[in-house]
Every structure is written in C-alpha cells, then in structure tokens.
Amino acid sequence: MPSKRSALGQVVHAENLGFLQTLPSESVDLIYIDPPFNTGRVQKRTRMKTVRDEAGDRTGFGGARYRTEKLAEAAAYEDTFDDFLGFIRPRLEEAYRILKPHGALFFHIDPRESHYCKVMLDQIFTRPCFQNEIIWAYDYGARSTKRWPGKHDTILWYTKHPTKYTFNLAACDRIEYMAPTLVGAEKAARGKTPTDVWWHTIVSPTGKEKTGYPTQKPLGVLNRIVKVHTKPKDTVLDFFAGSGTTGEAAAKNKRRFILVDQSEEAVGIMQKRLAKYL
C-alpha cells in the first residue's frame, strides 16, 4: 500500500527500523510507541453484534434477552518474539538519535516486559533522563480467579536532556477529585491535574472511536501526552502506529505527525481515519 503525506503529516507503509535510519538526527520533538508486548498470543479484534432472542446468552435492560453473533476478526498479528529486547533495542537507539535535544520518548509496554525495557532505556537515554513511570489503569474485560486481574499498562517517559524538556501542565485535562467535599466547591468544580496513575477506559468495543484494530489505544491518553509534552507545530513520531491514534491526537492539537507501520491493514485503517489531515 502506498504511503500518504501532507503538510501536516504522513502515513508510511514500511519496516520501521529501515525508515528510522532515513530520518535526520534531532528532527522530532516527541516519540510515542506502543510496540508488540511479547504476550505470546495472537492479537485480534473480534467484531460482534447482539440480536434480540429470548433464548440468548445475555440479559439487557428490563430483563430482555439477547444473543451475540460474531461478524468478523480483523487485523490479527502474532505477538511473540524469541528475543524481544534484541528486536526493540536498535529501534530505540534510532529513536534517541532522532529526538531533538528537548525531546521526549513515551514507551508503552506490558508490565511483564517493562522492567527489562527500563534497564535498557536507562542505558540508551541514561538514568537521569528517566522522568516517570506512568500507570494507565482501566477496568474492563475478564477477571482472573487465580490471581489479581491485570488491568494496567506501563508507560515509561524519558527525555533527551535530564532537565530541559517540554512539560506544559497547564494544557493538561483535569479530572474529578475522589473526595470533592474535602476540597471545597471551587476546587471541586475546577478539578485536579492527574498524577502518574491515569485512570482511563479502554476504547469501547461498540463506541464511535473504535477502528477495528486489535490493540487500539484511547484518544484521551494520547491527547494528554501530546498537549502536555509538545507545542503547536512540533513533530510527533509513532513507528508502531497501528490504528493511528497518535496521529489523530497530534493533528487535532495542531502538531505534525509521522506514522509508520509495516502492516498493510494498519496503514489502510490510518489512511481512512486521518483522511482529512492527509
């Protein structure tokens, strides 16, 4: 599938390491990546619909019964690596080279791999450039009965320089106080800025935001990263771009974007989703 480009951004169909090696040094302000998590599973999104049926498997409003029907499975890929760190390290070394002196990397990873990846990132970026471990917490899906259900991802924030970087907290969205009566009406109405634990729902399987891509991340999470950690007209890069959420967050906030993926299905989804920006 051919790549597409405009003055605002581009969607590139390519193997990401080779493409990264073509980018100039110190040319990008922010990199967000959500690479495969090395879960050992096939990642896929199943499209379903519900049909009214008194013998169905679900109960809805007012006790009405429904059955579920599978429509299709889309954009599946095998999330398994013999050497995940060996795969990801050269790409992160390129990311470091490409970032501007004030730039930042947000590395989104599963808790099973995060501690190994942090040690590697400490080596590439140096430990003083580690700024935060952000926990994205959600509450959706099946619940294990053999251990505490895993309901969070880890996002590691590194900067190119230990103290000189973009952090515009005033641009951040505000969230509700958990105990509004303790802070007074004025503060409660204004809300508070988030901590390093971000409670945000996943993309609803039946919502308007969904694209059908199996590991799509919510726009609210990427909006927060883009607004706080970049300025208008900055360039945002995602080289595991998947469904294109990073590009939509960048474009809506008047930032330029570069999205790269080697999956033809992913590129098709992104081009459709971002058509008005390309």
- Asked if residue 249 lies in contact with residue 8, where contact means CB atoms within 8 angstroms, the answer is no
Other beta carbons within 10 angstroms of residue 184's beta carbon come to 10
- Asked if residue 20 lies in contact with residue 98, where contact means CB atoms within 8 angstroms, the answer is yes
d(C-alpha 116, C-alpha 273), whole Å: 34
- Asked if residue 272 lies in contact with residue 75, where contact means CB atoms within 8 angstroms, the answer is no
Whether residue 48 has pLDDT greater than 60: no
d(C-alpha 204, C-alpha 70), whole Å: 17
Strand partners, 197: 135
Whether residue 60 has pLDDT greater than 50: no
Average pLDDT, stretch 249-261?
98
The angle, 0 to 180 degrees and rounded to 10, between the axes of the packed helices 219-229 and 245-252 is 50
Average pLDDT, stretch 254-265?
97
Residue 104 structure tokens: 């930042």
Whether residue 176 has pLDDT greater than 50: yes
Query: Looking up tokens 């993926």, which residue turns up?
Result: 261
Query: Structure pTM?
Result: 0.84
Strand partners, 13: 261
The 10s digit of each residue's pLDDT in 184-241 is: 999 999 999 999 999 999 998 888 999 988 889 999 999 999 999 999 999 999 999 9
* CATH 3.40.50.150 correct for 4-37+80-277: yes
Whether residue 47 has pLDDT greater than 60: no
d(C-alpha 261, C-alpha 148), whole Å: 34
Share of the chain above pLDDT 90, in %: 74
Question: Where do the domains of the chain lie?
Answer: 4-37+80-277, 41-79
pLDDT category of residue 61 using cuts at 50, 70 and 90: very low
Query: Among 13-17, 51-55, 57-61, 202-206, which range has the highest average pLDDT?
Result: 13-17
